[in-house]
Amino acid sequence: MSDDDARDASLLETGRIDRLLATYELVILARCIKGTKSAHDGQDVAQDVMFRLFREFEAGKRYEGIPYRVVVHQVTKWTLADFFAGRRTDVPLPDELTLAAEDIGEGVVSGLWLRELLAELPERERATCELVYVEGLSPEQAAERLGTTRNNVDQRLFHARKRLRELMDDDG
C-alpha cells in the first residue's frame, strides 16, 4: 500500500470523508470531462459522482482491501455509464467492486506510476520532468534551476508528454 493509499484509508477510517472527497475532486472532474467530452456535462456528472461517494461512504459502505482512488475510478466509471444510458445517477452503488481487465491494465490499480514513467526517460529528461511534473516548477524556473534554456526544457518535457499520450492511447 502506497503512502497515499494509507492516508486515504486513515481518512476513511476516521470519518473524514469530506477531506477525502476534496482530495479527489479534480481527479473526478477531469475523468468526467474526458468521458463526456463536455466541460458542462462533465461538471454535472462529477457532482453526481461526489454525491454518490459521499452518501455511500457516510452510510458505512466500504470496499475492503481496495484503495480509495480505485473506488473513485470505478464509481466515476459507473456514473458515466449511467449518465450515457439515461439512467438515474444517484442510485445506491453495488455491494461488490470487481475491477475490469482494462482497469488493471491502465495502471489504475498499481497507481501512482509517474515516477515509473519518468524512470524510462534519460537522466536529463527525467530530472527536467521531475522539476515540472513533481515539484511544480514552471518551465522557466526549471530552465533556471538546470542552467539551461527554456527551449531545452520544452524538448525534454515533450518526451514525457509523448509517453503520457501513448498511455492515453492504450487506455482508448
- Give me the residues that bind other proteins (CB under 8 A), please: 2-4, 18-19, 21-27, 29-31, 33-34, 37, 39-40, 43-44, 46-48, 50-52, 54-55, 69, 73, 88-90, 106-108, 112-114, 117, 132-139, 154, 157-158, 161, 164-165, 167-168, 171
Nearer to other proteins, 62 or 113 (CB): 113
Task: Give every CB contact of residue 57 below 8 A, 6+ residues apart in sequence.
Answer: 12, 17, 20
Nearer to other proteins, 110 or 122 (CB): 110
Q: What gap in Å lies between CA 98 and CA 101, rounded to an integer? A: 10
- Shortest reach from residue 94's CB to other proteins, in Å: 18
Nearer to other proteins, 63 or 108 (CB): 108
Q: Are 25 and 50 in contact (CB under 8 A)?
A: yes
Nearer to other proteins, 94 or 116 (CB): 116
Displacement of CA 34 from its chain's centroid (Å): 12
- Shortest reach from residue 108's CB to other proteins, in Å: 6
Q: What gap in Å lies between CA 24 and CA 44, rounded to an integer? A: 16
